[in-house]
Structure 1
Amino acid sequence: MNLIIQESVILGAGAAAILLQVAEPGVAAGVNEHSNFAERVGDRLRTTMTYVYCVGFGTPSEKRAIANAVTRVHKHVNGVLNEGERKKKGQRYSALDPELQLWVAATLYYTGLDIYQRVFGPIEDEHLHEEIYHEYAVIAISLQVPPEMWPRDRRAFLEYWDAKVAQLQVTQHAREVARDLLYLPRAPWYLRVLTPSLRCLTAELLPPRIREYFGLRSNSFWYHVHMLGLRAVYRWLPLMVRSLPVRYYLWDMRRRLSCHRPVFHKGIGS
């Protein structure tokens, strides 16, 4: 997993991963009804990346501490679905649901690998592909997902992925999260000026069906302009620079743990 997860370029796929996650109504309801997402988009990013980097690079004791912290927050994220398929309305959702956690982990693997290959080129070694895939399982199984739920190999995963994408629904909850994420209406102006580029990249990373449901448009010209610039600069940076987010989030996590401060707060999303 280190090959992919250490690269800060995976953050560029973060918005696509979140939109895919909230296209599952249970995740969308949890995020929209139990977090102040619009005001604290950065905190949700910190929550997710601290967890991902910790399970990838942390010590055993740090992994246990972070998994316990995530679980404590997730215990408060539950309710009744009021959107989505009619047959599912009225059903309860919970952030502790292994199926929802499996889907969240799946989006992190798929989008991270996708943007990595768009920048560095396709991974031709199938053995390496499988190794990366199996190492990503730790993101799911460190919480409530039993190991046997993670698809047994990449082929099984892609079958799961295609079936899941085909049944995703973009509810009003999901659209509200997308608006806050892609337009940053309450963020400072110097962050909002970056949102056109964010929307351009995110649109290309999403499956066409999901892109259309979120009202995003594919713009291949500007996408290729962005990718040419990214490839021209990012690939030539030393790994020490490309992996700065890993070191920053691990440092922040360890500082909070050493001071006995909560790593995650209620109300920032799962």
Structure 2
Amino acid sequence: MTSPLPPAYQVDFRHPPGEPGLVPAGSVQWRVFKNSIALGIGGVAAVLFEFADARIRSGVWDHSIYKTDPIGRSQRTGMAAMVGVFGPQSTARQVIGGVNRMHRKVAGETPTGEAYRALDPELLDWVSATAGYGFLEAYHRFIHPLSAAQRASYYADGEAVARLYGVEHPLTSDADFFAMLERLFPRFEPHAINREFLDIIMSGQAAPSIPKFLHRAMARASVSLLPPKLRERMELGAEFDLSRRERLALRLAGRLADRVSSPAMPAYAAAERLGLPGRFAWYRPERQKAILAARSAGTPQQDTIGTVS
């Protein structure tokens, strides 16, 4: 079952009309973040990357409601990500500022006595990197392959949001991510919390209407995004291998999510706020470019059903 979002996370993506976001329409970020399957797989992978480090794992487990309300906490994290990409700038800055204020209060010690604080630059950089890479790689592997140029564009367009969170070294490439992983790798370790987290995901609590088979597949797909040596270090063994049937089911669901839109979706509402067709994010990139070019030239464009990514 889902938890109601608190007022601070109840975002109106349609207002104020015309206000730009932090991430431009037609960007690869819009393409990736409109897809719920990519966000689900990538989000879980990001948490696994983060929980490998005892400082982040302790910070989340000891200073949030994750243990008692993992679904609600995940929903709020997801909404913060959505507002960064699709929300008007003023609202995005307000929500991100609120998250930063909460993080200022997060500090403590790991079970081994190592001090940590959520605003440690190294931890901020890693948390941002895991989310950025996780969402992108999930889309690339399970929805639609992206070129090197598209991946670079994705990272560049995410910089403004990362900076607002206090990130000092936003990702500019996959190489940045793997270099950061290599620096932190000696710290990574297995822990029972990792499996507890995956059990929560596979239980289907977040969306009971979706078959548990798909929840289990998404959890295993998330594990598949971990580099083999990290997966081995975290002791996530063969029981988390993704089967061919699960992979095909996820690709089918992901392709469907790339085509099906709804006025309730942030991407749809954000497009309308900007004076674009609501289905803009679901159009093919060339169609998006034509619409944006025509708007810049002052030529009116009409919504066109059936032109999807």
TM-score band, normalised by shorter chain: 0.7 to 0.9
Match of 1:163 in 2: 182
Match of 1:265 in 2: none
Aligned partners of 1:25 and 1:171 also within 8 Å: no
Number of residue pairs aligned between Structure 1 and Structure 2: 237
TM-score (norm 1): 0.74
CA RMSD of aligned residues (A): 3.2
Higher normalized contact order (CA 8 Å, seq sep 6+, divided by chain length): 1
Unaligned runs of 5+ in 2: 1-28, 271-309
State the identity as a percent: 23
How far 1:79 moved relative to its partner? 1.0
C-alpha distance in 1 between matches for 2:41 and 2:265: 12
Question: Which is higher, the Rg of structure 1 or of structure 2?
Answer: 2
C-alpha distance in 1 between matches for 2:167 and 2:223: 29
**Distance change (3 Å), C-alpha of 1:2 and 1:162:** same
> Could you give the per-residue CA deviations for residues 60-83 of structure 1, whole angstroms, max 9, x where no partner exists?
210121012101211221012333
* 1:179 is aligned to 2:202: no
Q: 1:5 aligns with which of 33, 36, 51?
A: 33
Unaligned runs of 5+ in 1: 84-88, 251-270
Aligned partners of 1:97 and 1:144 also within 8 Å: no
TM-score (norm 2): 0.66
How far 1:242 moved relative to its partner? 8.2
C-alpha distance in 2 between matches for 1:210 and 1:143: 26
* 1:122 is aligned to 2:145: yes
C-alpha distance in 2 between matches for 1:14 and 1:243: 23
Matches of residues 1-270 of structure 1 in structure 2 within 5 Å?
1-9=29-37, 10-83=39-112, 89-90=113-114, 92-124=115-147, 126-146=148-168, 149-151=169-171, 153-154=172-173, 156-164=175-183, 166-170=185-189, 172=191, 175-176=192-193, 178-184=194-200, 193=212, 196-218=216-238, 222-237=242-257, 239-241=259-261, 246=266
C-alpha distance in 1 between matches for 2:204 and 2:177: 36
How far 1:163 moved relative to its partner? 1.7
Aligned partners of 2:134 and 2:225 also within 8 Å: yes
Aligned partners of 2:143 and 2:251 also within 8 Å: yes
How far 1:139 moved relative to its partner? 3.8
Aligned partners of 2:217 and 2:250 also within 8 Å: no
User: 1 or 2, which has the higher helix percentage?
Assistant: 1
Aligned partners of 2:220 and 2:242 also within 8 Å: yes
Q: What is the identity, as a one-letter code, of the residue corresponding to 1:12?
A: I
